[in-house]
Amino acid sequence: MTEPEHEAALPALNRLFVRALIALGETGEPQRHTACTLAASAWSALRHTDSREAERFNGVLHRLTRAKHNTTEKEIFVSQPKLLDVRRLIPMERHRQIFDTYEKLKPGESFVLVNDHDPKPLYYQFEAEHTGHFSWNYLQEGPQVWQVQIGRNAARHQAQA
C-alpha cells in the first residue's frame, strides 16, 4: 500500500464504521446504546490524534441520541457556583470546553452544563474516558434548554480493617 493509499484508508474505514453504527443504532434499544458506546470509544481513540475523524463519531452520537420533545419546558433554577453555558460556542468547541472544565475539577466538585440540545452524546464520551469517575444528573430536560450537573467523583476511601 502506498502512502497516499494508507492515508485514505482511515477515513474510508471510519465512513463504513459510521454507516454501520447508524444502522445498528436505528434498530432500537439496546442496540442504540451499544452503537453510542462504540461511537464514543472511537471518538475517544481519535480525539487527540485526528480531530476531524473524531468529529465523525461525535456526529453519530448526536444523530443517535436526538429525541423529539413535545413537553412544555419547565424552568429550574440552580444555585451552583460553576456554570458552563456552551450555547453560544460553535459545536466543535463545545466538547473541548466541557472536557477542559471537567479536568479542572477537584474530586467531589461539579459544574452545571447549559446546552441547547440533550447532551447525551457527551455522556457516552464521558463514559468512554472516565468510566466510574464522573457523575451525571439532569436538572432540566428541554425542549429548548438542557442543564446537566457533571461532577468528578470524590476519591473512594479504602475500608479500614
Q: What is the pLDDT of residues 30-76, one digit of tens each?
A: 898 999 999 989 999 999 998 888 888 888 888 888 754 444 445 44
pLDDT at 119 over 60: yes
Are 102 and 134 a contacting pair, CB within 8 Å?
Answer: yes
Model confidence pLDDT, tens digit, residues 12-36: 888 888 888 888 888 888 898 999 9
Q: How many CA atoms lie within 13 A of 140 on its CB side?
A: 19
CATH topology of domain 83-152: Translation Initiation Factor IF3 (3.30.110)
Task: Name the nearest CA neighbour of 43 among 34, 35, 33, 53.
Answer: 53
Whether the CB-CB separation of 86 and 117 falls below 8 Å is answered with no
Q: Where are the domains of the chain?
A: 3-65, 83-152
pTM above 0.85, yes or no: no
